Amino acid sequence: MVFATVIIVGSFFLIVGTIVSKGFPALSWEMLSEIPSGDFYMGGEGGILNSILGSLYIAAGSSLLALIISVPIVIYINMYLKKSSWMGNLTRLGYDVLFGMPSIVYGAFGFTLMIYLGMRASLLGGIVTVTLLIIPIMVRTMDEVIRTVPKELFDASYSLGATRLETSRVVLKQVAPGILTAVLLAFGRGIGDVASVMFTAGFSNDIPKSLEDPASTLPLAVFNQLSSPVEEVQSRAYAAALVLTIVVLLISISARVLSKRLSKNKI
């Protein structure tokens, strides 16, 4: 037990420690507030604002899109299909398989789809691909949460003459904190993934102004800077990784606070 705790907590501090110690000295206001200049990756002026915003756009956009798609799916397989129906089980199996799929496969699929539709690498392409990537995470997480709702709560609503749709709303209220967790997990995956957006969102030194503009992302910025031969740029890569960590941490904390408020009425 103590050993396990030491390993987990130790590796956490090791990772965060490395990023902070290497990244913090290179972190500057310029880095957060400016877009990269032409020779940024060779040690030139500028920052990674384009990547920060690009990542946030993609993660937020795809989380929202995936939520809109996932909630009806989960409600349908839990409330409208009978228990242990083959359709529900097949759906769950499908999402389990998709869950384990490497993100580069999604990237390749998204890329094919975009070529077929005649699209260029763009913010929209990235959002759609990441949406596909995180839907299985959302569906499976929400599914597990809804399955923990006691059957009697469904019965209580049904026996008042509620329809399945009305009962679904009650169930969603009960599992609201769980749904938030699902969104958070998906957001975390979406913001940190590089393989799915590499081809689909493209790369740009500018902040995307519309859905059709290509967009850079933070993980990609880390990757590009780490592969630079210039030492200063390499240390900036750690700074970018630090920014990524802080963003995820902030989202995490605010989700916790929100989750507390959402579970006020939970039975």
Which of the stretches 30-38, 48-56, 92-100, 167-175 binds other proteins when contact is defined by CB under 8 A? 167-175
Per-residue binding letters, 57-96, with other proteins (x by CB under 8 A) = -------------------------xxxx-----------
* Cβ pair 53, 47 in contact under 8 A: no
Residue (39 or 152) nearer to other proteins, CB: 152
Tell which one of 108, 170, 195, 258 touches other proteins (CB under 8 A).
170
Nearer to other proteins, 155 or 232 (CB): 155
Query: What is the DSSP code string of 167-236?
Result: HHHHHHHHTHHHHHHHHHHHHHHHHH--HHHHTTT---SS---STTS----HHHHHHHHHT-S-HHHHHH
Q: Give the range of 48-56, 58-66, 170-178, 233-241 binding other proteins by CB under 8 A.
A: 170-178
CA distance linking residue 64 with residue 58, whole number of Å:
10
Q: Which residues, numbered 98-157, are part of the site for other proteins (CB under 8 A)?
A: 150, 152-157
Alpha carbon distance 150, 33 (integer Å): 49
Please give the DSSP secondary-structure letter assigned to residue 82: P
* Interface with other proteins: number of residues (CB under 8 A): 25
Q: For residue 221, what are the contacts with CB-CB under 8 A and spacing of at least 6?
A: 48, 51, 237, 240
Q: Does 166 bind other proteins (CB under 8 A)?
A: yes
Residues at the contact surface with other proteins, assessed by CB under 8 A: 82-85, 150, 152-163, 166, 170, 173-174, 264-267
